[in-house]
Copies of this chain bind each other. A is one copy, B any other.
Amino acid sequence: MLVIRNIRTMRNCVRKVKGEKKIIGFIPTMGALHQGHLSLINRARRDCESVVISIFVNPTQFGPREDFKKYPRNFAADKRICQKAKVDFLFIPRVKEIYPPDYCSYVRVKGLEDKLCGTFRQGCFQGVATIVSKLFNIVQPDIAYFGQKDFQQVVIIKRMVRDLNIPVKIKVLPIVREKDGLAMSSRNKYLNKQQRKEASILFQSLQLAKEMLKKGERSSVKVIAQIKKMIKKIPSAKIDYVSIVNPESLEDVRLMSEKILVALAVWIGKARLIDNMIINETGI
């Protein structure tokens, strides 16, 4: 595995690999790798002849009072995971090369960026769309892999790729969960023991939604109310939102008569956790 710290070297490697007509699979990450990332790497390893992973804690997708500085960074462990998973190139660029002082270009996906998490994290998805389009231009992958956990991110990137005609295929893999259902996330590290236990309420509440649909409930208002009621039993929980939306447009759904996305963002202590579930209108 080659560890690459600058854009020029990454480009040269890409050129070489493309010259050999190898299919490139790419996993952009912010590091602090866990089983969720690993599922993406493993899939890329199966699909592609060359696997590139990037680790870049992207400052432009954090708000001024968010956790950019304390976001978990553990390069040594990440490197071991990548090596073991047979990654070919680990790209870990420096902030000052990615965003030079007079940097001023941004990609926006209007109409999708201001919903769900975008309401609470202003500018976040402009940061995401911009860094992902930069990384796509540097790595020029055939396929890029994302986890369903960051559902809004996935919807925005898919739309950006379609709208801007970016020549890459996006593959989305299912959420990887802990035994108690908690979605794997680098931010789970912010939880203390008690909070970690309580955090499983997020998954439980999504399952409750599924149950309600299965039993014939069609009012999203009622389902949302039940989810909120359940989460509020946890004293350390603070709900940012619980929403039921169309999985493509991210528009609110009132009457659940088709495939819907239940998405939520909840603070447990100092960790802002997100989770989601796509549910067929019949509850499957």
Q: Using a CB–CB distance below 8 Å, which chain A residues touch chain B?
A: 7, 11, 102-112, 129-130, 133-134, 137-138, 140, 159-160, 163-167, 249
Note all chain B residues with C-beta closer than 8 A to A249.
Answer: 102
- A105-B160 in contact given A7-B165, A167-B11 (Cβ < 8 Å): yes
CA distance A264 to B48 in the complex (A): 52
Residue of B nearest to A7 (CB): B165
Could you tell me if A104 and B165 are in contact, using CB atoms closer than 8 angstroms? Answer: no
CA distance A138 to B168 in the complex (A): 11
CA distance A134 to B159 in the complex (A): 13
Could you tell me if A107 and B109 are in contact, using CB atoms closer than 8 angstroms? Answer: no
Note all chain B residues with C-beta closer than 8 A to A160.
Answer: 105
Could you tell me if A133 and B164 are in contact, using CB atoms closer than 8 angstroms? Answer: yes
Q: A109 is contacted by which of B104, B133, B140, B163 (Cβ under 8 Å)?
A: B104
Least Cβ–Cβ distance between A219 and chain B, in angstroms: 27
The 3 A-B pairs at the shortest CB distance, nearest first, are namely A105-B163, A137-B165, A104-B111
Could you tell me if B105 and A107 are in contact, using CB atoms closer than 8 angstroms? Answer: yes
Q: A108 is contacted by which of B105, B163, B164 (Cβ under 8 Å)?
A: B105
Could you tell me if B106 and A107 are in contact, using CB atoms closer than 8 angstroms? Answer: yes
Note all chain B residues with C-beta closer than 8 A to A130.
Answer: 164
- Give 11 new A-B contacts, CB below 8 A, not counting A105-B159, A106-B107, A106-B108: A7-B165, A102-B249, A104-B163, A105-B108, A105-B109, A105-B164, A107-B107, A107-B108, A134-B163, A134-B164, A138-B165
CA distance A166 to B106 in the complex (A): 13
Residue of B nearest to A129 (CB): B105
CA distance A167 to B135 in the complex (A): 11
Task: Pull 13 A–B residue pairs with CB atoms less than 8 Å apart, ordered by A.
Answer: A7-B165, A102-B249, A104-B109, A104-B112, A105-B107, A105-B109, A107-B107, A107-B108, A108-B108, A130-B164, A134-B163, A134-B165, A140-B167
CA distance A14 to B258 in the complex (A): 39
Residue of B nearest to A103 (CB): B163
Least Cβ–Cβ distance between A11 and chain B, in angstroms: 7
CA distance A112 to B140 in the complex (A): 27
Least Cβ–Cβ distance between A15 and chain B, in angstroms: 9
Least Cβ–Cβ distance between A94 and chain B, in angstroms: 14
